Amino acid sequence: MEPKTADRTQSPSSPSLPSPAAPGPLASFVRFVVCGGGIGVLSSFAVPLVAMTMPWAVANAVITVVSTLLCTELHALFTFGTGRRPGWRRHLQSSGSAAAAYAVTCAAMFLLHVIQSAPGMLTEQAVYLTASGLAGIGRFLVLRLFVFASGRKSPLRRPVLPLPRPALTQAAVAATC
């Protein structure tokens, strides 16, 4: 009969649940669009409601901060499947990517108004949504490749090539000593 060995992956007092495998790029992107888009739609309804109690710019800033925090939590747990809540470092990195995406959409709208002094509403919406979509793709890539990349092979790291260990016998070592 073989002796029993302790299973170090689980303790009797706190059984460990198997962590789900991180979703692939396509599944992550779909989850990113659903989570980020869903929160974005909810935020677009929340800003005017909150703006009834404070200036619009303040309401927009508050909703943007809250929605970015919520999206970072959802992206860590659901979109990228890290299995744990994000820490402050990931929240700061995510807010940086959100600020960059905001800057891209603002720049697109500024350029539109430089090119066309009075664009129509449909043109403005088309430019804004296109810039927002491109910024969202960039944000997804930053979050997937850098912010939530732990535990995955990063495309910027070189692969480690394992080399075989030389087999030295006890006799060979004793002969050289």
**Which phi and psi (to 5°) does residue 76 adopt?**
-65, -45
Q: Is the pLDDT of residue 115 over 50?
A: yes
Nearest to 104 by CA among 79, 69, 130, 74: 130
Residue 5 DSSP one-character state: -
Q: Is the pLDDT of residue 109 over 60?
A: yes
Q: Is the full-model pTM beyond 0.75?
A: no
Computed over every residue of the chain, the mean pLDDT equals: 78
3 falls in which pLDDT band (50, 70, 90)? very low
What's the gap between Cα 62 and its chain centre? 21
